[in-house]
């Protein structure tokens, strides 16, 4: 009976593997030296630990997708993973279809817990094509390199790292999603081009960096308070980035064009809307703080205006500094008065000089008489 069950399990596994094999992409290498080709790949390593009331777990699932065949013709050192990759008359080309990874980890002990995850994807529609190129790297799909050297092309990357924790009943969390939109990058007869996202075209250029619309939004929360700071560069149908016969061009966001230029930096529109949200207690406390930054002026009589408060015992603004002479408002300006009096200073100066002179005269006479 046991032998029959083993035969049944073996038959089911054989049928399953045979069916899955037909779904994989075919790999073709013609006139090629040093080619490495593989179809879609997926792995999910995990680890769990539990000891003395403490637990920890981690997993790192990674997958390389794609559809279609991998083809390398008359190439040297071609590496192709996933499906839909084509390399013709090229040297040192690396082509990878859509990639996704979701590493995560969690831990808990004594009623507290923490977790973190970093899901990352690099997508793109279409195939990766390298023709008569050297040292080209293409990831995600929809990338084309022709007669170029040292080209890096990536489909739409997306990442959403998040962390969270619960300590003594208080929840804390934070996330920082970021992504580059678009699909379809093209490099022709260029050297040192880097293209990310999509809608990027570089022709007969040297050292060009191009990126589609970028979005980033950092959020954090603790208790009843949350903050966010979303930022966008480009987007909203901003168009494509194009660099032709240019040197040292950087374009971000879409809708940028450089022709016959040197050292050009172009960016789409930049927008940001930071915000802070809180519970009833925190929101009520923020209102007086805003009004305190622009205090209302006091009335003409020196009394505080309605709705404001004056600290008891604090010096008033209209009082004179200790030892300073008080001059009536609107009266003639008087100079040289003794402090705490209204007497003129000139009279006392003359009197002092007279006494000094008298003293010197008396002293001289006394010496002569001696």
pLDDT (0 to 100) of residue 124: 82
Q: What is the mean pLDDT of the chain?
A: 79
Q: In terms of pLDDT, which residue wins out, 339 or 298?
A: 339
pLDDT band at 367 (very low <50, low <70, confident <90, very high): low
Query: Encoding tokens for residue 191?
Result: 């050297």
pLDDT (0 to 100) of residue 354: 72
Mean predicted confidence (pLDDT) in 116-138: 94
Q: To the nearest whole percent, how much of the chain has pLDDT over 90? A: 55
| Burial call 92-104: b when 16+ CB within 10 Å, e when fewer | bbbbbbbbbbbbb
Query: Encoding tokens for residue 307?
Result: 């709705």
Asked whether residue 322 carries a pLDDT value surpassing 90, the answer given is: no
Angstrom distance (rounded) from CA 77 to CA 63: 23
Asked whether residue 184 carries a pLDDT value surpassing 60, the answer given is: yes
pLDDT (0 to 100) of residue 306: 41
Digit-coded pLDDT (tens) for 303-314? 444 443 333 444
Q: In terms of pLDDT, which residue wins out, 99 or 349?
A: 99
Angstrom distance (rounded) from CA 201 to CA 275: 36
Angstrom distance (rounded) from CA 179 to CA 73: 34
**For the chain, what's the residue count?**
370
Q: Hey, which residues does 208 pair with through a beta bridge?
A: 193, 249
pLDDT band at 358 (very low <50, low <70, confident <90, very high): confident
Digit-coded pLDDT (tens) for 66-109? 888 999 999 999 999 999 999 999 999 999 999 999 999 999 98
pLDDT band at 348 (very low <50, low <70, confident <90, very high): low
- The model's pTM is 0.67
Q: In terms of pLDDT, which residue wins out, 315 or 360?
A: 360
pLDDT (0 to 100) of residue 366: 62
Angstrom distance (rounded) from CA 351 to CA 344: 12
| DSSP per-residue codes, 62-103 | EEE---S-EEEES-BS-EEESS-EEEES-BS-EEE--EEE--
pLDDT (0 to 100) of residue 352: 72
pLDDT band at 282 (very low <50, low <70, confident <90, very high): very low
pLDDT (0 to 100) of residue 369: 57
Digit-coded pLDDT (tens) for 11-68? 444 444 333 333 456 899 999 999 999 999 999 999 999 988 899 999 999 999 888 8
pLDDT band at 161 (very low <50, low <70, confident <90, very high): very high
Asked whether residue 248 carries a pLDDT value surpassing 70, the answer given is: yes
Q: Is 277 left (phi over 0), alpha (psi -120 to 50) or beta?
A: beta
Tokens 């992504």 sit on residue: 179
pLDDT (0 to 100) of residue 318: 46
Q: To the nearest whole percent, how much of the chain has pLDDT over 70? A: 69
Beta-carbon contacts of residue 282 (< 8 Å; ≥ 6 apart): 224, 225
Torsion of CA 228, 234, 235, 238, to 10 degrees: 170
| DSSP per-residue codes, 170-234 | EEEEEE--EEE----EEEES-EEEEEESSSEEEES-EEEEEE--EEEEEEEEETTEEEEEEEEES
Mean predicted confidence (pLDDT) in 231-243: 84
Angstrom distance (rounded) from CA 290 to CA 73: 69
pLDDT (0 to 100) of residue 317: 46
Phi, psi of 13 (to 5 degrees): -65, -40
Angstrom distance (rounded) from CA 292 to CA 286: 10
Q: Please, what is the Cα angle at 194 between 191 and 198, to 5 degrees?
A: 125
């Amino acid at each position: 009976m046991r032998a029959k069950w083993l035969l049944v399990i073996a038959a089911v596994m054989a049928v399953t593997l045979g069916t899955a094999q037909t779904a994989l992409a075919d790999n073709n290498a013609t006139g090629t030296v040093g080619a490495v080709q593989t179809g879609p790949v997926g792995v999910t390593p995990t680890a769990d630990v539990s000891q003395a009331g403490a637990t920890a777990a981690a997993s790192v699932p990674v997958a390389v997708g794609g559809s279609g065949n991998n083809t390398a013709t008359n190439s040297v050192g071609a590496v192709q993973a996933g499906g839909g990759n084509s390399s013709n008359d090229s040297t040192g080309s690396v082509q990878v279809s859509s990639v996704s990874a979701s590493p995560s980890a969690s831990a808990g002990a004594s009623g507290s817990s923490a977790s973190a995850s970093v899901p990352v994807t690099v997508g793109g529609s279409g195939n990766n094509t390298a023709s008569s190129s050297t040292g080209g790297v293409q990831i995600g799909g929809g990338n084309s390199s022709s007669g170029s050297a040292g080209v890096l092309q990536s489909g739409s990357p997306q990442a959403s790292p998040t962390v969270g924790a619960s300590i003594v009943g208080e929840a804390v969390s934070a996330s920082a999603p970021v992504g580059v939109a678009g699909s379809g990058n093209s490099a022709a007869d260029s050297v040192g081009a880097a293209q990310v996202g999509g809608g990027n075209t570089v022709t007969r250029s040297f050292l060009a960096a191009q990126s589609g619309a970028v979005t980033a939004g950092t959020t954090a929360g603790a208790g009843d308070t949350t903050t966010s700071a979303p930022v966008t560069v480009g987007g909203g149908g901003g168009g494509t980035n194009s660099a032709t016969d240019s040197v040292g061009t950087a374009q971000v966001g879409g809708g940028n064009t450089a022709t016959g230029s040197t050292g050009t930096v172009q960016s789409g529109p930049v927008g940001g809307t930071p915000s802070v949200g809180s519970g009833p207690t925190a929101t009520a406390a923020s209102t007086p703080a805003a009004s305190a930054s622009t205090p209302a002026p006091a009335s003409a009589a020196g009394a505080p205006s309605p709705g404001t408060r004056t600290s008891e015992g604090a010096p008033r603004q209209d009082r004179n500094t200790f030892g300073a002479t008080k001059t009536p408002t609107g009266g003639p300006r008087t100079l040289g008065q003794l402090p705490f009096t209204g007497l003129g200073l000139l009279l006392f100066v003359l009197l002092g000089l007279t006494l000094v002179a008298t003293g010197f005269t008396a002293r001289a006479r006394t010496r002569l008489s001696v």
